[in-house]
């Protein structure tokens, strides 16, 4: 630790919020802050006075050789009174300008602090009692409400709910307790198998519920399996919590079915079809916007005319065979006027108008969700940085190729590649430069492969190539890869030079077991590295 100078000491003690003095080696106070003057009862500053007038035991304390220490003693006030204090010492500076900094703490204040602590504890206890009383009053209020209601804290944990709420969701009633997270209740409801609503994608359903729950104001309607309708009315409170109301609007919905306004203003694409012919007899504005046809044009079609090729007949059979309302379970492919394909879910309700039987269709465009799922599937099998197949995809393709080769007598080559000199690039230029380099390596490897060959990134700076080739063909590809990566790479206006070492294993020479084949290629790679790098080695045939 570096010694402080006297100037350092004065500067440090000058900003300490406690009573502080700085004493010279001769025992004279050279500095005292305002708090020290106040605790000593001094009318003027204490500087240039002997410290023994303030601390009678100074002659004993100053002989302690420790660099810093703490002691309790008596402080003599200017009015003749003495008070107990705790002194914290620290020595500053070299021998020639040695000083002792002293922080003085009035021990009498400890009693006042203890009294304050006890008073705060009493006040906290009273506040807790008041809070509990307020909670009971709130519980009594929500129990009086005619709707199902629940209250959440800022962490989305249950605080209160009424009996109507528990009765509405019997599958989670036994699990409700103060403090349980909303997400956990949703998961319990799903696992119970008695969820009152239809859920086709549990994970999406949970995330959508949580997203709506997080909104400042969220209002939506929900159809249950038994045909009832609920309105969810959730609002965030100023403290970050939330209050949720669940209102049974089944009767209202049934009455609204007869009103054209509901149909026309519905933001979901809707249409009415004849149950026998499937002719479209009515559409709302949202459906016209979705399909891109004019109102007159779409009324000249059947619902099956909107289907993608191959699905029209299947949809027609399903629609004509309905004997009850149909929840959407199948994702259908439909075409718009511009030829764009949409992925949709179709909800069907049967309407009886005298002797006529109609179908009320509600169309949910789930194209974004389908694309997101396809993208997620792609990411699960491809390296996010380079876009190459990842280790899992490579293993899957290798197993399939080995199975075919074992059955048909074909030949396979597996190349295990490891970059030479990649780590120094990361260490000197940073990981961003390393990522750019890996992308360029991936592009060069793809450029030297033949059609049908597969290159994958296994992780880090390791790559693998799978090809249907003889030993000679495998050797040729290895040489092309080595030559391609010897050329400098341009990164951040600099030319970076690396190379690659390659180990090759062959099937059937090294067997048809994927693990053994990869192990043989890895061993060959190690031999290539040991022989000077920037080269390749082929594994010996299995005995």
Residues designated as active site: 461
Taken as a whole, the chain contains a residue count of: 543
Per 3-state DSSP, the chain is made up of helix, strand and coil in percentages (nearest 5) of: 40, 30, 30
**Torsion-angle region of 459 (φ positive above 0: left; ψ -120 to 50: alpha; else: beta):** left
Q: How far apart are CA 356 and CA 342, in angstroms?
A: 31
HSE, side-chain direction, 13 A CA sphere, residue 221: 12
DSSP line for 239-262 = TS-EEEEEEE-HHHHHHHTT-HHH
Q: How far apart are CA 173 and CA 159, in angstroms?
A: 14
Q: How far apart are CA 31 and CA 46, in angstroms?
A: 7
Give phi and psi for 505, each to the nearest 5.
-125, 145
Count of CB atoms situated within 10 Å of the CB of 187: 14
In Å, how far are 1, 124, 256, 274, 299 from 290, measured between CA atoms?
Answer: 74, 60, 24, 21, 14
Q: How far apart are CA 536 and CA 376, in angstroms?
A: 36
283 SS3 class? strand
Residue with tokens 């996010």: 384
Torsion, Cα of 222, 223, 226, 228 (10° steps): 80
271 SS3 class? strand
Count of CB atoms situated within 10 Å of the CB of 536: 24
Query: For residue 152, which of 205, 248, 218 has the smallest C-alpha distance?
Result: 218
In Å, how far are 79, 150, 393, 401 from 449, measured between CA atoms?
Answer: 96, 62, 18, 17
By DSSP bridging, strand 356-365 and strand 68-76 are unpaired
- What ranges make up the beta strands (E) of 48-201? 68-76, 82-92, 99-106, 148-152, 158-161
510 SS3 class? coil
């Amino acid at each position: 630790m570096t010694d402080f100078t006297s100037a350092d000491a004065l500067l440090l003690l000058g900003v300490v919020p406690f009573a502080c003095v700085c004493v010279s080696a001769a025992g004279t106070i050279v500095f005292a802050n305002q708090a020290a003057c106040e605790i000593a009862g001094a009318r003027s500053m204490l500087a240039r006075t002997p410290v023994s007038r303030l601390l009678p035991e100074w002659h004993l304390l100053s002989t302690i050789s420790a660099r810093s220490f703490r002691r309790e003693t008596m402080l003599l006030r200017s009015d003749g009174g003495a008070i107990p204090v705790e002194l914290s010492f620290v020595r500053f500076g070299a021998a020639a300008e040695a000083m002792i900094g002293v922080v003085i703490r009035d021990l009498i204040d400890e009693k006042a602090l203890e009294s304050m602590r006890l008073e705060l504890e009493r006040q906290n206890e009273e506040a807790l009692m008041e809070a509990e009383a307020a909670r009971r009053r709130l519980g009594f209020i929500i129990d009086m409400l005619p709707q199902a209601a629940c209250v959440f804290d800022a962490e989305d944990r249950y605080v209160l709910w009424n009996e109507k709420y528990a009765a509405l969701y019997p599958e989670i009633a036994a699990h409700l307790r103060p403090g349980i997270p909303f997400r956990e209740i949703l998961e319990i409801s799903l696992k119970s198998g008695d969820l009152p609503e239809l859920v086709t994608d549990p994970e999406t359903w949970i995330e959508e519920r949580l997203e709506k729950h997080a909104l400042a104001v969220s209002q939506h309607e929900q159809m249950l399996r038994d045909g009832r309708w609920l309105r969810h009315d959730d609002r965030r409170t100023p403290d970050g919590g939330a209050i949720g109301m669940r209102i049974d609007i089944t009767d209202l919905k049934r009455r609204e079915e007869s009103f054209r306004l509901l149909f026309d203003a519905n933001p979901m694409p809707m249409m009415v079809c004849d149950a026998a012919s499937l002719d479209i007899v009515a559409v709302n504005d949202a459906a016209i916007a979705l399909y891109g046809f004019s109102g007159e044009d779409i009324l000249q079609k059947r619902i099956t005319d909107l289907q993608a090729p191959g699905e029209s007949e299947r949809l027609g059979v399903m629609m004509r065979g309905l004997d009850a309302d149909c929840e959407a379970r199948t994702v259908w492919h439909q075409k718009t006027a511009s030829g764009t394909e949409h992925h949709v879910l179709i909800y069907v309700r049967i309407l009886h108008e005298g002797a006529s039987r109609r179908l009320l269709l509600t169309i949910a465009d789930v194209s974004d969700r389908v694309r997101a799922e396809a993208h997620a599937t792609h990411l699960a099998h491809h390296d996010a940085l380079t876009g190459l197949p990842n280790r899992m995809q490579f293993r899957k393709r290798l197993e399939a190729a080995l199975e075919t080769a074992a059955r048909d007598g074909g030949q396979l080559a597996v190349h295990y590649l490891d970059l030479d000199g990649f780590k120094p690039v990361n260490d000197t230029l940073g990981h961003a430069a390393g990522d750019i380099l890996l992308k360029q390596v991936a592009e060069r490897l793809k450029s030297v492969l033949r059609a049908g060959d597969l290159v994958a990134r296994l992780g880090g700076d390791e790559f693998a190539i799978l090809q249907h080739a003889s030993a000679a063909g495998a050797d040729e590809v290895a040489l092309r890869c080595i030559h391609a990566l010897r050329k400098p790479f341009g990164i951040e206006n600099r030319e970076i030079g690396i190379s690659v070492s390659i180990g090759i294993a062959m099937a059937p020479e090294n067997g048809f077991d994927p693990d053994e084949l990869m192990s043989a290629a890895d061993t060959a790679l190690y031999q290539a590295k040991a022989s000077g790098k920037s080269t390749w080695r082929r594994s010996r045939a299995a005995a």
